[in-house]
């Protein structure tokens, strides 16, 4: 049986690593501005530490490799994207521990990252968006979801950035409505809210018996009958799947609207530079790759080749 001193030492060690874990997650949320990212990191780290049986200063590359490439809760072998995400998450935690002088090395540095092949980006066409809007009912909940779809398409913001909008995020300047948001990496921004999106928001709030001018600044723009704090991301995702199915469209995540907004702006003639600023991308190179995945590579020479071989 361990002595009282031994028990105290074990408890102290556990507390030290627990404090580091929560401090890491708090810093991650502050830097990313995304609760979803924090939750994802928390799940992966919980999965690793619950099965390793060692403290962070005792972990070596072999344990990291086995976990990163191991079969998870789904019972399936992880994809290259999942493996890369696991290593990136754990490596980020170790870099934090090194900065805190809790460990002296990062076991992830010895692991070769798998080459990932990005999936095919999807974006809805203008006709497909019209089909989607056509199947959304004119009930208060339906009008709210319609306003959300329009806001996503016109702004191309990420899911958390739009779902998290409150009344206080809307600012009227003359005849123009602006919205403020907190984006990826903690970036903050202020953009014009396109008139069709604003009008749809006002219409759906009226259907809920609400008036923007009389609402509290911290009140959600997206009312919910089941949640006084407003619509949740999960509920909207579920509603979206039903609308897509009814419209005869493929299942997609909410991010499809960011792709759609970018592609539609290119379709109507906006430059890559314009789209890059619109998406808050860090560089034109990022936007170019993003659009190439959406648009595909045009082949302007096939007709000449066909003529040369008599076809």
Q: Mean of the pLDDT values across residues 44-70?
A: 90
Residue 298 has pLDDT above 70, yes or no: no
Residue 92 has pLDDT above 90, yes or no: yes
Beta bridge mates, 171 = 178
Considering the segment(s) 126-295 as one domain, its CATH architecture is Orthogonal Bundle (1.10)
Which segment, 74-78, 95-99, 185-189, is predicted with the most confidence on average?
95-99
Which segment, 71-75, 127-131, 259-263, 274-278, is predicted with the most confidence on average?
127-131
In this predicted model, what pLDDT tens digit does every residue of 197-228 receive, in sequence order?
Answer: 999 999 999 999 999 999 999 999 999 999 99
Residue 228 in contact with residue 178, Cβ under 8 Å? no
Q: Given this model, what pLDDT does residue 122 score? A: 74
Structure tokens at 231: 């619509």
Structure tokens at 70: 């191991």
* Confidence at 262, pLDDT banded by 50, 70, 90: confident
* Confidence at 4, pLDDT banded by 50, 70, 90: very low
Q: Can you give the residue ranges of every domain in the chain?
A: 4-110, 126-295
Q: Tell the residue number behind the tokens 């490799």, with chain if given.
A: 65
- 3-class DSSP string for 255-281: CHHHHHHHHHHHHCCCCHHHHHHHHCC
If one counts every other C-beta atom within 10 angstroms of the C-beta of residue 309, the result is: 6
Measure the CA–CA gap between 106 and 112, rounded to whole angstroms. 13
Residue 285 has pLDDT above 90, yes or no: no
In this predicted model, what pLDDT tens digit does every residue of 300-309 receive, in sequence order?
Answer: 554 555 565 4
Residue 136 has pLDDT above 90, yes or no: yes
Which segment, 65-69, 145-149, 265-269, is predicted with the most confidence on average?
145-149
Give how far Cα 54 sits from Cα of 64, 160, 219, Å.
Answer: 12, 35, 45
Q: Given this model, what pLDDT does residue 132 score? A: 96
If one compares 185 and 192, the residue with the highest pLDDT of the two is 192
Measure the CA–CA gap between 17 and 45, rounded to whole angstroms. 12
* Confidence at 3, pLDDT banded by 50, 70, 90: very low
CATH class of 4-110: mainly alpha
Beta bridge mates, 178 = 171, 192
Residue 135 has pLDDT above 80, yes or no: yes
* Confidence at 115, pLDDT banded by 50, 70, 90: confident
């Amino acid at each position: 049986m361990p002595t009282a001193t031994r028990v105290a030492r074990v408890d102290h060690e556990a507390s030290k690593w627990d404090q580091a874990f929560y401090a890491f997650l708090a810093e991650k949320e502050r830097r990313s501005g995304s609760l979803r990212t924090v939750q994802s990191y928390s799940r992966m780290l919980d999965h690793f530490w619950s099965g390793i049986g060692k403290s962070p200063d005792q972990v070596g590359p072999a344990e990291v490799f086995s976990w990163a490439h191991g079969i998870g809760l789904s019972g399936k072998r992880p994809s290259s994207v999942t493996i890369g995400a696991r290593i990136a998450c754990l490596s980020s935690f170790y870099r934090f521990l090194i900065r805190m002088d809790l460990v002296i090395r990062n076991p992830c540095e010895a692991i070769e990252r798998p080459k990932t092949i990005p999936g095919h980006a999807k974006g809805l066409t203008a006709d497909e968006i019209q089909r989607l809007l056509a199947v959304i009912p004119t009930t208060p909940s339906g009008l709210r979801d319609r306003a959300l779809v329009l806001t996503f398409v016109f702004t191309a913001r990420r899911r958390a950035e739009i779902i998290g909008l409150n009344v206080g995020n809307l600012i009227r300047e003359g005849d123009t409505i602006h919205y403020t948001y907190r984006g990826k990496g903690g970036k903050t921004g202020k953009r014009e809210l396109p008139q069709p999106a604003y009008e749809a928001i006002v219409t759906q709030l009226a259907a809920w018996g609400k008036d923007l001018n009389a609402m509290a600044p911290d009140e959600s723009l997206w009312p919910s009958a089941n949640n006084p704090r407003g619509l949740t991301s999960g509920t909207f995702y579920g509603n979206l799947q039903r609308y897509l199915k009814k419209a005869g469209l493929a299942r997609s995540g909410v991010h499809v609207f960011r792709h759609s907004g970018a592609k539609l702006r290119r379709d109507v003639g906006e430059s890559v530079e314009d789209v890059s600023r619109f998406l808050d991308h860090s560089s034109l190179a990022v936007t170019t790759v993003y659009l190439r995945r959406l648009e595909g590579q045009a082949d302007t020479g096939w007709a000449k080749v066909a003529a040369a071989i008599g076809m």
